[in-house]
Amino acid sequence: MKVLKFGGASVKDADTIKNIPGILKNYPNEKLVIILSAMGKTTNALELLVEAFYNSQPDTIDHFDQIKQYHLNITKDLFENPEHLIYSELNLLFKELETKITKGKDKAFDANRSFNFIYDQIVSFGELFSTKLVSCYLNDTAFSNNWFDVRKLIKTDNSFREGKVDWKRTENLIKNNVTPILSSGKYILTQGFIASNLKGESVTLGREGSDFTASIFASVLDADEVILWKDVPGLMNADPKDFKETKMINQISYGETIELAFYGVKVIHPKTIKPLQNKKIPLKIKSFLSPGDIGSLIHTKTHQDSQLPLFIFKQDQILLSISPKDFSFMAEENLHFIFGLFAQYKIKINMMQNSAISFSVCVDKKDSLEELINNLKENYMVKYNEDLELITIRHYTKEAIDKVKKDRYILLEQRSRSTIQLVVK
């Protein structure tokens, strides 16, 4: 039994969707759970819709119309029959979304609910659209599958946009509902990224959380392997957008992959690895453009970890320098209070360094950061630099460091035996 996850780029248009049957042919008589992301840049488009709706902007309906038309254009390219069932299936979803963004039509949205709640209820439609389309297309091309609403299978708490999985409840739901269908010879096709709380409200699993969904299914069903189909040939030692000369990592351990995910590698969602590591389930990253290529393998063996320098670049960083107003030492009491504020505002610290009277942190630029800074200023002096970049190198060499330092101004540097981090301008 295998879990296959297709990212947004692999279902961005009719041509890429038509690649999927060719990939599935490589798994004859195999029990498959197929997980899809939203199509192309749909999640970004839905985020703009959320902003417009939340701020009562007059162009809210325009954002909706663009999303609707994008999916209808792909539908027309895939299904010649204008009376095909898919149109009524999609129209039900379009109508449901339109109702949510029309003031006065949905009481849950007219009530004073948080931005994160509204975000999850709207953005979750991206995966519903993509899976409805692809499920119908595969059924028409002799790949019999059951479309499943994953929100009925994966249950979380009420942490909107960062749902924490209720593993026991989720395990029971997946085993009771999915296993019988797989045993009947049909594929399961469902959504990544989304889940629901006990009230049935949509909860997302964090940006790029579709990989985590694949990991959840694989862990519960004791899959033989997970394959992530992406628009890259595998796990590279740097993002090709940042480096011209990149090399592919053929094999890597779970532990090293977790390190890379923690530091910000975009190919893998940080929460994806641990459930697979616990069950020793291999994870492959392959290109949907070249399905015959070997790709990258993430598994238990550590002796094959490459010592090739691995580069991670994070843009839009802010460096905060925090000092007590009374010039007292930056000791445990101060650090305890500061860490508590970062946890309260859910801001992840990407790098930190402290001296006798100062504590410096590098963080992502987030909406809640301004409120955090204002809170810190009640007890501390706070200075900050914006528009910075955080560069992390695993298994660094002098040559690798010199390469990234060239033509950059270094604001902060920190290194351990295997990792160096640089905050640069």
For the chain, which residues make up each domain, given as ranges?
A: 2-231, 310-424
Q: Which pLDDT score is estimated for 301? A: 73
Query: What is the C-alpha separation between 413 and 417, in angstroms, rounded?
Result: 14
For 35, phi then psi, to 5°, come to -120, 135
* pLDDT band of 103, cuts 50, 70, 90: confident
- How would residue 107 be classed by pLDDT, with cut points 50, 70 and 90? low
Specify the pLDDT at position 269: 76
On the 0-12 / 13-18 / 19+ scale of CB atoms within 10 A, 379 is middle
Q: Which of 225, 244, 209 is nearest to 298 (CA)?
A: 225
> What local confidence, expressed as pLDDT, does residue 208 receive?
75
Per-residue confidence (pLDDT) for residue 330, from 0 to 100: 92
Between 244 and 128, the more confident residue is: 128
Choose from 58-67, 234-243, 255-264 the range with maximum mean pLDDT.
58-67
Distance separating alpha carbons of residues 381 and 206, to the nearest angstrom: 32
Number of C-alpha atoms within 13 angstroms, CB side, residue 18?
8
- If residue 187 lies in a helix (H) or strand (E), which one and from where to where? strand 187-191
Select from 3.40.50.150, 3.30.70.260, 3.30.870.10, 3.30.2130.10 the CATH code of 310-424. 3.30.2130.10
- For residue 402, pLDDT beyond 70: yes
Mean pLDDT of 115-125: 96
The model's confidence at residue 200, banded by pLDDT at 50, 70 and 90, is: very high
First to last CA, the chain: 48
Tell me what percent of the residues of the chain surpass a pLDDT of 90. Answer: 85
Q: Which H helix or E strand runs over 161?
A: none
Which is more confident, 366 or 107?
Answer: 366
Asked if pLDDT for residue 239 goes beyond 90, the answer is: no
Q: Tell me what the mean pLDDT of segment 126-150 comes to.
A: 98
Nearest residue to 138 via CA among 76, 196, 187, 209: 187
pLDDT on residue 112: 62
Q: pTM of whole model > 0.85?
A: yes
State yes or no: pLDDT of 134 exceeds 70.
Answer: yes
Q: What pLDDT was estimated at residue 207? A: 75
Instruction: State the pLDDT confidence band at 262, using cuts at 50, 70 and 90.
Output: confident
Q: Are strands 310-324 and 187-191 parallel, antiparallel or unpaired?
A: unpaired
Q: What is the mean pLDDT of the chain?
A: 94
Mean pLDDT of 200-205: 97
Q: Is the pLDDT of residue 400 over 90?
A: yes
- Decide: 36 and 130 in contact? Cβ < 8 Å: yes
Q: How confident is the model at residue 108 (pLDDT cuts 50, 70, 90)?
A: low
The whole-number pLDDT of residue 110 equals 61
pLDDT (0 to 100) of residue 84: 97
pLDDT value at residue 281: 98
97's enclosing H/E stretch is helix 85-100
Q: Which residues pair with 6 in a beta bridge?
A: 36, 229
Residue 242 pLDDT more than 90?
no
The CA distance from 365 to 350, in Å, is: 11
Flag whether pLDDT at 305 surpasses 70: no
Residue 157 CB partners (closer than 8 Å, separation 6+): 163, 164, 166, 197, 203
- For domain 2-231, the CATH architecture is 3-Layer(aba) Sandwich (3.40)
